[in-house]
């Protein structure tokens, strides 16, 4: 690969839009290595490596703030294992909580699907009624009952 790639060539090489490269520049995560006589951004191998680092870090769940921190450790001369481990632990804790939240949401959705199927023959949507009760500031007891499994009345 030759030095002095334009933003378009860099983006194509990494399979990302040029707008992403520009965004990373605005976030100060990436800077062009130099400018051409016509003021075009030019990038070299270091920029390719840096962009790959950014994308890899994002792919495993790091935020852009995390990426900025990681890059500052990466660019520094000191060992940063303890700080990186702290950041990893924080992201792991956050990911575990998101997974719990997703499992809880899945449980509710499955329960609502059973309710929907059970009430389908009545011609009214029990799920819409329950969601309306839950979201309308209905008394707490009504909200609790809206999540319990109820049998449809025979018609």
The SS3 call for residue 144 is helix
Question: What's the domain count of the chain?
Answer: 1
Structural domain boundaries, residue 46? 1-61
Q: What is the pLDDT along the chain (155 residues), one digit of tens a residue?
A: 456 899 999 999 999 999 999 999 999 999 998 988 888 889 999 999 999 999 999 999 999 999 999 998 888 766 688 888 999 999 999 999 999 999 999 999 999 999 999 988 888 888 888 888 877 665 554 444 444 544 554 54
CATH code, domain with 45? 1.10.1660.10
CA torsion 119-122-126-127 (nearest 10°) is: 60
Is residue 114 in a domain?
A: no
pTM of the model: 0.67
- On whether residue 109 sits in a domain, the answer given is no
| Domain assignment of residue 120, yes or no | no
Dihedral over Cα of 118, 123, 129, 131: its sign? positive
């Amino acid at each position: 690969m030759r030095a002095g790639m334009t933003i378009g060539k860099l983006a194509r090489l990494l399979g990302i839009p040029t707008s992403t490269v520009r965004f990373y520049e605005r976030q100060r995560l990436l800077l062009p290595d130099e400018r051409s006589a016509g003021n075009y951004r030019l990038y070299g191998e270091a920029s390719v490596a840096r962009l790959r680092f950014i994308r890899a870090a994002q792919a495993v769940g790091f935020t852009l703030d995390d990426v900025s921190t990681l890059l500052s450790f990466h660019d520094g001369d000191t060992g940063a294992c303890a700080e990186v481990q702290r950041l990893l632990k924080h992201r792991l804790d956050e990911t575990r909580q998101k997974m719990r939240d997703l499992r809880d949401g899945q449980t509710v959705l499955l329960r609502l699907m059973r309710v929907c199927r059970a009430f389908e023959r009545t011609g009214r949507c029990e799920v819409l009624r329950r969601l309306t009760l839950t979201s309308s500031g209905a008394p707490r007891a009504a909200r609790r009952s809206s999540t319990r499994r109820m049998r449809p009345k025979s018609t």
